[in-house]
Structure 1
């Protein structure tokens, strides 16, 4: 993986040198604008609408719009005075429970891999965090911007999530707080959630739109036609209770099929374990019979001699 940043994790007096790699990547298709007549790529031109001239990069300045169509210009010197010094340290501030962080705070994920000289310290931090059930809140500076970050164990390694600051989170107003729900509605809603509850299997989810786009592009390249099947429209249900009943009836069958598959898998695993145990027992019994000595004394192949008494000798 391409290394984006090198530095170290610091907590207490411990310092762990690490390398940072992007943990995710965009799968979006990127398009270019072409001239319809000759199909050559269009060049982006920076043009001032007031002066009606093309502007070079050296003639551009940065401005902040503090009111509608009113800007304050910031020079490179102004911006340089505020830049954070390049930091090579991920400073751990606190260790907290992961469940206390709402996913809305997460921004982007990065893998942190250890340098060769820090394998033991890296493994020590990973195992200690995993056993404690804690994640680390840290501060890191990248590209002249200071980030709040969360470090956690993922797939036997460390992943760092850059986070939004609280002021960057927009809050939602109370929605429908005046609505009163009946116990029957809540019971059916809970039943529907229970019917749709599944273990998390990320591999079963995929981007259907991207797959269709890939097929469309492939068809265009090879000259084939491509048609997207229109999704079937569901029956429009206005009444909430009717919608809940219809949804429960639809999911009950699916839940039963899923449970049947689960029972079959469990039975198959149990049968396999029983068979293995029986084979092991049979083998052990056979070995025992071979190894254990028999109580019956073996018969001698020699013919016993007859005793000769003194009286017989005298005769």
Structure 2
């Protein structure tokens, strides 16, 4: 059973669902380490001054952001720490959107959302609601001091949280010039291409595709191991975040109160709109609900 990488609760309205995140992917590949060929001792990475070529100690390294070509603004560790997002144990759902509206280009890394024992009913409720509606939940989550935009969606019998790339991290087709392609294809060419696609169409079985480079390298490693030349490197396991208590009270009542609160807010907005010009309200995609509450204070 894979280890959980995060524990907390999914929150929408007044409803909390205690969950843990388990990575939905496993990295497989060949990790080459640098070794001294004379002794087979591990070789590390040096921090070197690119002008003088001399090694720089950690105490002499500062962080800077390039402002103009060759000109930097130096920031202290204290200044940087002040802007790191506050670690929380809540996945705050900001909105529900149509699943097909999110481009595949935004998807980054998937995790399974595992319900705690006390949350199986409300977990199932959210799963079935999203499945029937065709919608997904857009949320904020902080993991390892880094803020992520994420989407919660049903997959099979469970829920998946997939971290998303921010909008400014995704290039559009126009950005790379694909919208300027000009090429005409004939009906005959289209028909031939369609027939070729039909002939090559088969069911999707991901296990039939594999990394042949990795296979060949590991075969060579196994052969050398039999000759007594195998090196083993152990890596420390990641620390597990402490769980947060997230008791769930009467689900029906929480849903009723959440919907009631939405209606009251809507009625107040309508009343205010009659007395003064409407103010445009926006939500920043990168602002968590906890920070919005602090701002309101």
- Scaled by the length of structure 1, the TM-score of the pair is 0.65
1:122-146 C-alpha deviation (Å, 9 max, x unpaired): 1221122223232222122223332
Kindly indicate whether residue 135 of structure 2 is the aligned counterpart of residue 134 of structure 1. yes
Partner Cα separation in structure 1 for residue 51 and residue 97 of structure 2? 55
Kindly indicate whether residue 197 of structure 2 is the aligned counterpart of residue 193 of structure 1. yes
Partner Cα separation in structure 1 for residue 46 and residue 206 of structure 2? 43
Give the equivalent residue in structure 1 for 2:238. none
Give the equivalent residue in structure 2 for 1:210. 214
Any residues of structure 2 matched to 1:235-246 within 5 Å, and which? Answer: none
Partner Cα separation in structure 2 for residue 8 and residue 47 of structure 1? 44
Partner Cα separation in structure 1 for residue 227 and residue 180 of structure 2? 52
Moved over 6 A (4+): none
Kindly indicate whether residue 108 of structure 2 is the aligned counterpart of residue 107 of structure 1. yes
In the alignment, structure 2 segments of 5+ residues that lack a partner are 229-297
Shift of 1:212: 1.6
Give the equivalent residue in structure 2 for 1:69. 70
Structure with larger Rg? 1
Partner Cα separation in structure 2 for residue 69 and residue 219 of structure 1? 51
Shift of 1:8: 0.9
In the alignment, structure 1 segments of 5+ residues that lack a partner are 225-315
Shift of 1:106: 0.6
Give the equivalent residue in structure 2 for 1:42. 43
Over aligned residues, Cα RMSD in angstroms? 2.2
Kindly indicate whether residue 82 of structure 2 is the aligned counterpart of residue 81 of structure 1. yes
1:29-62 C-alpha deviation (Å, 9 max, x unpaired): 1111111222221233334355665433233211
Q: 1:176 to 1:53 in 2, by over 3 A?
A: closer
Give the equivalent residue in structure 2 for 1:144. 145
Partner Cα separation in structure 2 for residue 223 and residue 160 of structure 1? 45
1:141-164 C-alpha deviation (Å, 9 max, x unpaired): 223332211111224221111001
Give the equivalent residue in structure 2 for 1:57. 58
SS of alignment partner, residue 48 of structure 1: coil
Partner Cα separation in structure 2 for residue 186 and residue 121 of structure 1? 50
1:260-290 C-alpha deviation (Å, 9 max, x unpaired): xxxxxxxxxxxxxxxxxxxxxxxxxxxxxxx
Kindly indicate whether residue 164 of structure 2 is the aligned counterpart of residue 167 of structure 1. no
Partner Cα separation in structure 2 for residue 145 and residue 41 of structure 1? 31
Which moved further from structure 2: 40-49 or 154-163? 40-49
Q: 1:155 to 1:213 in 2, by over 3 A?
A: farther
Partner Cα separation in structure 2 for residue 47 and residue 174 of structure 1? 40
Partner Cα separation in structure 1 for residue 54 and residue 205 of structure 2? 56
Kindly indicate whether residue 9 of structure 2 is the aligned counterpart of residue 8 of structure 1. yes
- Scaled by the length of structure 2, the TM-score of the pair is 0.69
Which moved further from structure 2: 144-153 or 7-16? 144-153
